[in-house]
Amino acid sequence: MTLDPDLFSDCGTDRPLIRIGDKWTMKIIVCLRDGPRRFGELIVPLRITAKVLTESLRAMERDGLLTRTAYGENPPRVEYALTPLGRTLLEPLAAICAWSAAHQPEVLRARSA
Amino acid sequence: MTLDPDLFSDCGTDRPLIRIGDKWTMKIIVCLRDGPRRFGELIVPLRITAKVLTESLRAMERDGLLTRTAYGENPPRVEYALTPLGRTLLEPLAAICAWSAAHQPEVLRARSA
DNA sequence: GTAGCCAGTTTCGTTGCGGTAACCGGCACC
DNA sequence: GGTGCCGGTTACCGCAACGAAACTGGCTAC
């Protein structure tokens, strides 16, 4: 594997641009990959609390990763959808998931050894 | 972009297999990509404290990502090197760094808007 | 008038990652 | 016999993330 020496230069910043590794960002993006979802359609499969989900969604909205659309109905309806920018994150995320899937046995074997 | 529907299935676990997003794992791997390094050669460029570096290295050693070789010399000399398994992480890491570099302006623009 | 729906917000408490500072052990040099 | 070098370890601490539970608000249906 040949790697551009400067490929990692932007990883040297104090805090990563997007907290890929935080507990929820990645899962929310994956949950939204097939189309918009409502608050309640995220909270159940993710098994996240309302507070943390709200915080995560707001942060991702601020970063331009997803959009929040509130319809003035009652009971309330709010839909969250990935932006094109958010969609571009699916590819590197897939790379990590593929690595996880491929090397999980190896890591677990190393851990138990 | 076409994505295997099951590609993300392994990301649904409670804790990710490797804490890619933790503050140091990624940087340590990048620091070791050109060959083995000593404790002191990691602590200076990373600007990490001894305690946290030790903890991170031990955890990565447990996971089989790197090896620790202590030479019985004095003053002590210890070298850390990526294993083949650790090297395979460079590729997905590069994907994330590339994303960061490519989309940083977009994110920052969204944040300030 | 009360109960339920949805999408939150508020309050309070816990946990764990990361940081600071001090100390350790063996040798080598002066 | 004191000092420095290297690679740690130990004790303590703060903050941000995470979580549980109760509450809100506006509308609808009974």
How long is the CA A18 to C1' D13 vector, in angstroms? 28
**Nearest chain B alpha carbon to A87:** B1
pLDDT given at position A43: 96
pLDDT given at position B5: 45
Q: Is residue A4 over pLDDT 90? A: no
pLDDT in tens, chain B (113 residues): 444 445 565 554 555 567 776 889 989 999 999 999 999 999 999 999 999 999 999 999 999 999 999 999 999 999 999 999 999 999 998 898 889 889 989 999 999 88
Nearest 10 degrees: Cα torsion B48, B52, B53, B56 = -130
Q: Is residue A7 over pLDDT 70? A: no
Task: For strand C, give the nucleotides within 7 A of a protein CB.
Answer: 4-11, 17-22, 25-28
Which chain A residues contact residue B106 at CB under 8 A?
64, 85
Copy the structure tokens of residue A29.
């993006």
**DSSP state string for A24-92:** THHHHHHHTTTS-EEHHHHHHHHT--HHHHHHHHHHHHHTTSEEEEEE--SS-EEEEEE-HHHHHTHHH
The pLDDT-based confidence of A3 (bands split at 50, 70, 90) is very low
What structural domains and CATH numbers belong to chain B? Answer: 10-112 (1.10.10.10)
> Angle at the Cα of A6 (from A90 to B87), degrees rounded to 5?
65
Q: What is the DSSP letter of B50?
A: H
Residue A21, C-beta contacts closer than 8 angstroms, at least 6 positions apart: B16, B19, B20, B21, B22
Copy the structure tokens of residue A91.
């590819």
Chain B: give the shortest CA distance to residue A58, in Å: 11
The pLDDT-based confidence of A97 (bands split at 50, 70, 90) is confident
More confident residue, B5 or A37: A37
- Give which of B17, B27, B10, B96 is closest to B62, Cα–Cα: B17
Task: For strand D, give the nucleotides within 7 A of a protein CB.
Answer: 4-11, 17-22, 25-28
Whether A10 and B109 lie within 8 Å, measured CB to CB:
no
Using C1' positions and the CA of B75, the closest nucleotide is D6
pLDDT digits (tens, 9 = 90+) for A9-30: 555 455 566 777 678 998 999 9
For residue A24, say whether its CB is under 7 Å from any atom of strand D. Answer: yes
Chain A: give the shortest CA distance to residue B83, in Å: 12
Provide the residue type at B64 as one letter: G
